[in-house]
Amino acid sequence: MNSINWDSLGFDAYRTRTIIFSKFSGGEWSPFEATENFSFTFDPFSQVLHYAISCFEGLKAFRQKDGRIAIFRPDQNAARLKRTADYLGMPGPSQELFIKMCEACVRNNLKYLPPYGHRASLYLRPILMGVHPQMQLVPYPEAIFAVMCAPVGSYYGEHLRSFAAVIPGNYDRAAPKGSGSYKIGGNYAATFKPYQLAHKQGYTELLYLNSCTREFVDEFGSSNFFGIKGNKYITPLSDSILPSITNKTLQEVAADLGMEVEKRPVPVDELAGFDEAAACGTAVVITPMSHIDIKPVLEEPGIERSYRYRPDGEVGPVCTQLYKQITGIQFGELEDRHYWCYYI
Ligand code: PLP
Ligand code: COI
């Protein structure tokens, strides 16, 4: 292995040492194994290839200040994967199996766990795939569950910097009563083209509205939304957004800091009243927005409205404070009073 420059890590696929996997067939999960062979073989008729029968998770392992290794809230990811698997009619790993496999993935790839002091971590990507060869649109209990990992730094290339987002008038992410609150691969497929168009126009993120009435803020393509107004942390309540573990954590962090937390529908017009607005998630941590524009047609010129928060790159005081708190707990610099760190 060439030595890794821990300070310049972005967020990308990586060839580490091993992937941990288990197969579900005949009603049970096989004992998990580690493989150095970075490829899986499945039948070309597999459900995952044709019908996107796949779901995943994202969580991070940290080398902390005192040298210990902590995975952040893996029980929450285990529960969310189980919920998503149920939605797809797939067998999901138990919480115990999920956590054991994440732990094995970290242990098997220790060389790739960034040392303390670089604001970098080991991102774990568990994935569950339906591999039964079948054309009928019905679930079948045959699956591969794999946990892979990658050393990561900042998702957008720079820690704690603000970026621009766009609300696309002509793209939706999730239907009412649809799959938006589940972490299925298909939800992300719908965002690829709009992301490409947004990036071409200088926007880093896409902010989606509720697709039924387009009156309320739902979430970013990669993460949840929160706004800061005075002493309030405000985040959307919606059936079609992913229940973010980072957001849930930040709500507790904000309350611990004496802030008021409001989880409720957020009308689009309210974007005008926030002091700060940001994305939050495992990958993006907290990424504040410099401004958010509404574009009626993403690929055409024309901005309907622009909500400005900070000059490009600058970050507000509350986002800075929340960022320091959550990363402080993750890196073992601050007390983990809620026992979020799972030590291995
Ligand atoms: N929303 C979407 C669409 C996501 O992909 C993610 C990332 O996992 C999140 C929100 C944030 O969730 P979490 O904080 O659990 O990573
Ligand atoms: C995560 O934050 O873990 C995700 O899965 C988001 C993805 C867009 C990288």
The conformation of residue 111, written as its DSSP 8-state character, comes to G
Tokens coding 253? 């962090």
Question: Among 119, 152, 185, where does a domain finish?
Answer: 152
Residue 232 pLDDT: 98
315 and 185 fall within a common domain:
yes
Closest C-alpha residue for ligand 1 atom 9: 223
Q: How high is the mean pLDDT of the chain?
A: 97
In tens, the pLDDT along 75-108 reads: 999 999 999 999 999 999 999 999 999 999 999 9
Residue 163 pLDDT: 98
**CA atoms of 170 and 159, how far apart (whole Å):** 31
**CA atoms of 113 and 151, how far apart (whole Å):** 6
Is 65 a known active-site residue? no
- pLDDT(2) > 70: no
Residue 243 pLDDT: 98
In a domain, 343, yes or no: no
Residue 1 pLDDT: 53
Residue 31 pLDDT: 98
Amino acid at site 303: I
The residues near 26 (Cβ < 8 Å, ≥ 6 apart) are none
Residue 149 pLDDT: 98
Question: Among 152, 174, 194, where does a domain finish?
Answer: 152
In a domain, 339, yes or no: no
Q: Measure the CA angle with vertex 107, ends 106 and 108; round to 5°.
A: 90
140 and 174 fall within a common domain:
no
Which residue ranges have their beta carbon within 6 Å of ligand 2?
58, 222, 281-283
**CA atoms of 251 and 204, how far apart (whole Å):** 24
Mutate to test the pocket of ligand 2, among 154, 223, 285, 286 (most ligand atoms within 8 A of CB): 223
Q: Give the closest residue to 32 by CA, choosing from 81, 80, 87, 103.
A: 103
CA separation, residue 127 to residues 169, 231, 254, 261, 280 (Å): 32, 38, 31, 32, 21
Q: 276: CA distance to ligand 2 center in Å?
A: 22
Quickly state the pLDDT bin for 245 (edges 50, 70, 90). Answer: very high
**In this structure, which ligand is nearest to the CA of 235?**
1
Answer whether 104's CB lies under 8 Å from 22's CB. Answer: no
Which is it for the CA torsion 139, 144, 145, 151, positive or negative? negative
Closest C-alpha residue for ligand 2 atom 8: 222
84 and 193 fall within a common domain:
no
Closest C-alpha residue for ligand 2 atom 6: 222
86 and 167 fall within a common domain:
no
In tens, the pLDDT along 127-179 reads: 999 999 999 999 999 999 999 999 999 999 999 999 999 999 999 999 999 99
Residue 20 pLDDT: 98
Atom of ligand 2 nearest to the CA of 246: 2
Q: 149: CA distance to ligand 1 center in Å?
A: 17
71 and 93 fall within a common domain:
yes
Which residue ranges have their beta carbon within 6 Å of ligand 1?
58, 219, 222-224, 242, 244-247, 281-282
pTM, two decimals, is 0.98
**Percentages (nearest 5) of helix, strand, coil residues in the chain:** 25, 30, 45
In a domain, 197, yes or no: yes
315 and 280 fall within a common domain:
yes
Q: Give the closest residue to 162 by CA, choosing from 317, 5, 273.
A: 317
141 and 204 fall within a common domain:
no
Q: 97: CA distance to ligand 1 center in Å?
A: 22
18 and 147 fall within a common domain:
yes
Selecting among 183, 200, 229, 232, the annotated active-site residue is: 183
Phi/psi for 240 (5° steps) reads -110, 20
3-state secondary structure at position 47: helix
**In this structure, which ligand is nearest to the CA of 250?**
1
Q: 123: CA distance to ligand 2 center in Å?
A: 10
In a domain, 341, yes or no: no
Q: Which CATH number is 114's domain given?
A: 3.30.470.10
Q: Which CATH number is 290's domain given?
A: 3.20.10.10
Range of the domain at 126: 6-152
In tens, the pLDDT along 182-239 reads: 999 999 999 999 999 999 999 999 999 999 999 999 999 999 999 999 999 999 999 9
Atom of ligand 1 nearest to the CA of 248: 14
In tens, the pLDDT along 19-76 reads: 999 999 999 999 999 999 999 999 999 999 999 999 999 999 999 999 999 999 999 9
**Structural domain total, the chain:** 2
Question: Among 102, 121, 152, where does a domain finish?
Answer: 152
44 and 91 fall within a common domain:
yes
- pLDDT(293) > 90: yes
